[in-house]
Every structure is written in C-alpha cells, then in structure tokens.
Amino acid sequence: MPPSPKPIAIIGVVSVVLCSLYVISNKRRATSHSRGKTLTKNKVKRNGIVGAIGNTPLIRITSLSDATGCEILAKAEFLNPGGSVKDRVAVKIIEEALESGQLSIGGVVTEGSAGSTAISLATVAPAYGCKCHVVIPDDAAIEKSKILEALGATVERVRPVSITHKDHYVNIARRRACEANKVAVNGYKGGFFADQFENLANYRAHYEGTGPEIWEQTGGKLHAFVAAAGTGGTVAGVSCFLKENDPGIKCYLVDPPGSGLFNKVTRGVMYTREEAEGKRLKNPFDTVTEGIGINRLTENFKMAQLDGAFRGTDIEAVEMSRFLLKNDGLFIGSSSAMNCVGAVRVAKLLGPGHTIVTILCDSGMRHLSKFCNPEYLSQHGLTPSAKGLEFLHLGGDS
C-alpha cells in the first residue's frame, strides 16, 4: 500500500523549512563575521621575515588600567620584525605595487619619511628583491638614519620645510622615483614612490590586518579605540573596521602640538590656536613626538570614522613614557606614549568599566638621541618630574 501523501507533504515542508533556516543562519553568520574573517581569508601565507609581520600581542597596561578602572589594552606593534606598526604598511604597499606593475623586482622603492615607514620599507624590500631609497628630514633622531644605512638603504637627509616646498622630503622622494624610472631597463619599472600619506594601501593594511586582529583578540568586546595620526592610515583602517562590526564602538584621535587634526575633527576646520595668535612655529612640527601630527588632510585620514579628538602635549608624552617604563617595564617611543595619553583621556571621558584599545607603535630604541635623551629634553624644558599620573591635565580640551 503506497504511503499516505500527507506524511510525505509534511516531510517535504519540514525539509524546506530546515533548509531555509540553515541558509538564513549561514547568511547571518556570514554577515556578522564577514569582516572578522578578513584576517584569515585575505591573509596570504608568507615566508621569511614578511610572514612574521602582524598578529602582534594585545597586552593589558596594568598601571593605566588600575589607575582608571578601565581595561586599557595596547597592540604591541613594536614586536614586528622591523620594530614598528609600519611593517604592515610597507608590506601592503610593496605587494600592491608589484601586483599592479608599478614596481618591478629589482626596482627601487622610494619614500619620504620621518623614520618608521622608511625603516620598515628598508627591512622588507629585500624580501621582494627590491632596493630602498629614503629621504628623511635632518631633524629626525639620528639613530633612524643609522638604522636605515645599516639595512642597506640609500639615505638622503634634507632640511625640514613645508609640504608646499619643492624640497620637502616627500616631494624629493617623489622626484627620485621619477628619476629612477627614466633609467628603467627593458620596460621594467626602475623606481616606485611609496607615497604612504596618500596611498590607500596604508589604510587597507590596517583595515584588513590590525582592525580584524583587535576584534578577534577582544572577542569584539571593546568600547573605544584611540590613536594619533601622521599619515592617518592606522586610525582610519582600524576605526572603519571596528565600526562596521559594531557602530557603538567609539573611535578617537589624540593630536600632538602643531598639528591641525584636533581642530579638523572637533570644529571642521584645519586651524590651530597658535596660528590664530600669530605664534606658529617656523616648523609647525617642532615637537618631541615624531611621525605624528600634520596640517593637511591625507587621503588615508579622510577614511577615518572618528567620534572626537583630544590634544596631547610634549611633556605629557615624555612623562607617560617614563611612567610606563617605571611601572610596567614598557620602553616605548614618542607616538606610543602619546597614544597612551589618549587612552587615559578616553578612560576619564567614558568612566570605569570600559575596554579601551590603543597602539604601541614602536619602542624607545629609535628615540635615544631625542625623546629618551635627558640632555635634549632639558634643553627644551621637558625634563620629567611627575611621581604618578598628575601630569595629565584632564580638564583641558577634549
């Protein structure tokens, strides 16, 4: 006797429902984790030194966490092979240039840099069969030039001038790439200008790498992210990724002396108090912090999704670096210290019980002659004297 059509129909309906639920579930899972998968999906398996870049630890800064009642976590980017967060950018810039044909194996990567990006490019370029030519302002810490030379890069030190000047270090680097291309052989590109400020490979390095790593390492349970900006790639890539996963995550900028980004974020105008009072320094970035702060909008920074900004000062950065060395054993550079100043400001704004993430861009090893030099600091009135965190004037601009 043939089976009744009713049970068959019921089984068919149940099957369709289960299949639909499975598809919907998978779609939801794919949507909720699609950005988080970026880390594993787009992470190309690499060998050698390039394969060691990224996946840096997210460490708890105990002293700051205990002092604020928040969990203050920092991405230990100084543990990358080249010693800084810029290793990620160097790899992304070179790989995209090789893929697009803008750079050929055996070619020269040129860049204008205050130090860290240059060191990262000089570190990874040989792994791709390329050379490196760096133009660096001569007021950058001298050990950066020495490191670059030791890495085999051609180093050109020039006087610091406005970006509008033809001899600004970035503009000279661009010219060097053009000159190298004029002597290219058999159609191969002889030179490539990395252009870290405007090249969106910078942003993508953090959107596809740093941001997803922070998301995975916190399990998506964080309330805020804060960092300073030079090129803007880190704060842009990380903020965009985090907000796509959770729009409730607050993202902030911390800005050093002479930079106009604080005003741009908070008031919509790239304008500083010093300019208004007619006291603008000959070199607007005559500050002890290197690699952060700028008075123009880069293509990378334009991508940032920020909820606000804080000002930081030179003395706060110096004091913070000494505080963390004494209390946590962290030997960090100037931009890392400024980021930690920003993390404490965010903690005070949000109140206890929040999780805040920032970036430890590099260590103090490449800042020995300036930021970590007592004599240099004394000459500039920046000798640290604080016993605790009293140096943070939390009632100021935010």
The phi-psi region of residue 71 (left if phi > 0; otherwise alpha if psi is between -120 and 50; otherwise beta) is: beta
Q: Are residues 275 and 373 in the same domain?
A: yes
Q: Are residues 285 and 238 in the same domain?
A: yes
Helix H or strand E segment including 202: helix 201-205
Distance CA 199, CA 327 (A): 38
Question: Residue 373 carries which side chain, given as an amino acid letter?
Answer: N
Q: What is the pLDDT of residues 16-33, one digit of tens each?
A: 344 343 333 333 333 333
How confident is the model at residue 190, as a pLDDT? 78
Q: What is the pLDDT of residues 205-246, one digit of tens each?
A: 999 999 999 999 999 999 999 999 999 999 999 999 999 999
Q: Are residues 254 and 237 in the same domain?
A: yes
Q: Are residues 220 and 350 in the same domain?
A: yes
Q: Are residues 121 and 247 in the same domain?
A: no
Distance CA 312, CA 392 (A): 9
Q: Tell whether 125 is covered by a domain.
A: yes
Q: Tell whether 296 is covered by a domain.
A: yes
Give pLDDT < 50 ranges for the chain.
1-3, 5-43, 278, 280-285, 395-398
Distance CA 161, CA 148 (A): 22
Q: Tell whether 13 is covered by a domain.
A: no
CATH of the domain at 362: 3.40.50.1100
Question: Residue 126 carries which side chain, given as an amino acid letter?
Answer: P
The phi-psi region of residue 55 (left if phi > 0; otherwise alpha if psi is between -120 and 50; otherwise beta) is: left
Contact between residue 109 and residue 135 where contact means Cβ atoms under 8 Å apart: no
| Cβ neighbour number for residue 343 with a 10 Å cutoff | 30
Count of domains in the chain? 2
Q: Tell whether 35 is covered by a domain.
A: no
Contacts of 386 (CB under 8 A, 6+ apart): 319, 322, 323
Q: Are residues 234 and 294 in the same domain?
A: yes
Q: Are residues 156 and 236 in the same domain?
A: no
Q: Tell whether 160 is covered by a domain.
A: yes
Q: Tell whether 360 is covered by a domain.
A: yes
How confident is the model at residue 89, as a pLDDT? 98
How confident is the model at residue 186, as a pLDDT? 60
Q: Are residues 237 and 217 in the same domain?
A: yes
- 193, 216, 249 - which closes a domain: 193
Q: Are residues 227 and 343 in the same domain?
A: yes
How confident is the model at residue 154, as a pLDDT? 94
Q: Are residues 58 and 175 in the same domain?
A: no
Q: Tell whether 209 is covered by a domain.
A: yes
Q: Which residues pair with 187 in a beta bridge?
A: none
Place of tokens 């790498």: 209
- 168, 193, 218 - which closes a domain: 193
- How many angstroms from the chain centroid is the CA of residue 363? 14
Q: Tell whether 330 is covered by a domain.
A: yes
Q: Are residues 75 and 156 in the same domain?
A: no
Q: Is 200 exposed, middle or buried (0-12, 13-18, 19+ CB in 10 A)?
A: buried
- 177, 193, 209 - which closes a domain: 193
Q: Which two tokens stand for residue 229?
A: 């900006």
Domain that holds residue 90: 86-193
Distance CA 95, CA 323 (A): 39
Beta strands in the chain (DSSP E): 58-60, 71-76, 108-112, 131-137, 154-158, 191-193, 224-227, 250-255, 308-311, 355-360
Place of tokens 């680097």: 173
Q: Are residues 251 and 316 in the same domain?
A: yes
Q: Which two tokens stand for residue 222?
A: 């964080």
The distance in angstroms from the start CA to the end CA of the chain is 81
